[in-house]
Amino acid sequence: MSKKLKKDTISSKAGIATDKEHGSVVPPLYLSSNFAFKKFGKEQKYNYTRSANPTRDILASALTKLEGGSGGIITSSGMSAISLIASILEINDRVILPHDCYGGTFRLFSSLEKKGSLNTRFMDQSNLEELNANIQEYKPNLIWIETPSNPLLQSVDIKTICKQAKQVKALVAVDNTFLSPALQNPLKLGADIVIHSTTKYINGHSDVVGGAVIAKKKETFDKINFWANNLGLTGAPFDSYLTLRGLRTLSLRMKTHEKNAAALAQVLSNNKKVKTVYYPGLEHHSSHEIAKKQQNGFGGMLSFELKGGLPAVKKFFKKVKHFSLADSLGGFESLVCHPYTMTQAPLTDKEKEFSGITQGLIRISAGLEDIDDLISGLKKGLD
């Protein structure tokens, strides 16, 4: 496939009409765990599904093209994609991470530090001067970025951080889960690695847990690919099949997610019971300018803080309609969640305070329902 194809064409065409056996238009699903040798001493392209699989490869190749990388690996979850990056580090390597990253990322890197595998420094990466001072002094081997962050939607300047990282030869990995390749391409801004929880927008149908790692350079890809096979972190073919099906409609879905999120953010902004609304599309959001500059859209996620803390939150969850109270995000269905007790539960109360997660905070994943119904369902919770 030509490099010049536009994103929607890449997603639509991935693997289409490549079946030489029967001419099936949609690429077949290869569930087989193993592939026969042509003859003794002569392997075919594939031999064992943990190492490589044709169905998984179509998804990996499409995501690699969408992100502008040289190679990609499909993993069994977003967390296995993150573990894979942690596994390419050497013992005692140093990692700078955002103080407001996804709770699972925080838990993984903190646990690895506790058992003596690596060293971490969690910090506010939006303060570029302070970050640079830390980079110069700490000399990290890896800088982990999650932008926009979960759940406060703070975006950080990928391009500038990558320039700072280069001065100390640190790798930069970006968790691009919240925007998907439709709305942000970190490799094009200078990052070395992109990871995704494909569980979210890329699959988009809330029926697969999966992940992906895409590397800019071939040598980085080779290293990551070695560890993916070594540790057995690669994803199941059926999951790849479903995720590829989701990918076909990614950019269409992202447009509606964003439209609905923007409308909900407006409703919340005009409601007296709401203290703060976190949506980068709102001009007062602290990341509005950087989001406008480096993203192709503001995305479908937003958070808001209710006046009245936990008691108000409990009442809201009891009354809200058309939003399921559940973890996860990025599916066709609208969700609400309480980051304090759900996604950010691995953090201590002090750590939550440090990253701005209050008891009154509610996160919304705007789905694809009709916006009039979503607004009336949200108002039921607020009223």
User: What positions carry a catalytic annotation?
Assistant: 50, 102, 175, 200
Q: Which is nearer to ligand PLP, 148 or 281 (CB)?
A: 148
Cβ-based nearer residue to ligand PLP, 78 or 381: 78
Assess whether the previous peptide bond of 28 is cis (omega < 30° from 0): no
d(CA 196, CA 69): 14
Question: Is 181 one of the binding residues for ligand PLP (CB under 6 A)?
Answer: no
> Does residue 197 belong to the site contacting ligand PLP (CB under 6 A)?
yes
CA–CA distance, 341 with 327 (Å, rounded to integer):
10
Q: Does 177 bind ligand PLP (CB under 6 A)?
A: yes
Alpha-carbon distance 362 to 367, whole Å? 16
Smallest gap from Cβ 273 to ligand PLP, in A, equals 27
Nearer to ligand PLP, 57 or 175 (CB): 175
DSSP string of 235-256?
A: PPHHHHHHHHHHHTTHHHHHHH
Q: Which of residues 104-143 bind ligand PLP (CB under 6 A)?
A: 104
How many residues form the binding site for ligand PLP (CB under 6 A)? Answer: 14
For residue 196, give the amino acid letter: H
Exposed, middle or buried: residue 368 (CB in 10 Å: 0-12, 13-18, 19+)? buried
At closest approach, how far in Å is the CB of 206 from ligand PLP? 11
Q: Cβ of residue 211: shortest distance to ligand PLP, in angstroms? A: 6
Q: Whose Cβ is closer to ligand PLP: residue 177's or residue 184's?
A: 177
Burial of 122 (0-12, 13-18, 19+ CB in 10 A): buried
* Alpha-helical runs (H) found in 171-249: 180-183, 218-231, 237-247
How far apart, in whole angstroms, are the C-alpha atoms of residue 49 and residue 56?
A: 9
CA angle 268, 274, 280 (to 5 degrees): 50
Does 243 bind ligand PLP (CB under 6 A)? Our answer is no
State the binding string over 202-241 for ligand PLP (x if CB under 6 A, else -).
Answer: -------x-x------------------------------
Residue with tokens 């059926």: 238
Return the beta strands (E) in 84-148 as ranges: 93-98, 118-123, 142-146
- x/- track of binding to ligand PLP for residues 150-169 (CB under 6 A): x-------------------
If you count them, how many residues does the chain have? 383
Per 3-state DSSP, what percentage of the chain is helix, strand, and coil (rounded to 5)? 40, 15, 45
Residues 268-297 that bind ligand PLP (CB under 6 A): none
148 scored as a contact of ligand PLP (CB under 6 A):
no
Contact 227, 85 (CB under 8 A): no
**Tokens in use for 362?**
């509610």
* Ramachandran angles phi, psi of 306, nearest 5°: -85, 140
Amino acid at 14: A
- Judged by CB, which is closer to ligand PLP: 120, or 274? 120
Stretch that binds ligand PLP, among 74-82, 126-134, 273-281, 317-325 (CB under 6 A): 74-82
Binding status of residue 344 toward ligand PLP by CB under 6 A: no
Span near ligand PLP by CB under 6 A; candidates 174-182, 221-229, 262-270, 362-370:
174-182
- Least distance to ligand PLP from the beta carbon of 52, Å? 21
Q: Which stretch binds ligand PLP (CB under 6 A): 1-9, 26-34, 172-180, 353-361?
A: 172-180
Among 11, 49, 55, 77, binds ligand PLP (CB under 6 A): 77
Residue nearest to ligand PLP (CB): 78
- Minimum distance from residue 105 beta carbon to ligand PLP (Å): 6
Report the SS3 class of residue 162. Answer: helix
Cβ atoms 56, 228 nearer than 8 A: no
Please report whether residue 199 would count as binding ligand PLP according to CB under 6 A.
yes
Min dist. Cβ of residue 332 to ligand PLP (A): 17
Q: Which amino acid is at 23?
A: G
Looking at beta carbons only, is 178 or 316 nearer to ligand PLP?
178
Contact residues: ligand PLP, CB under 6 A: 77-79, 102, 104, 146, 150, 175, 177-178, 197, 199, 209, 211
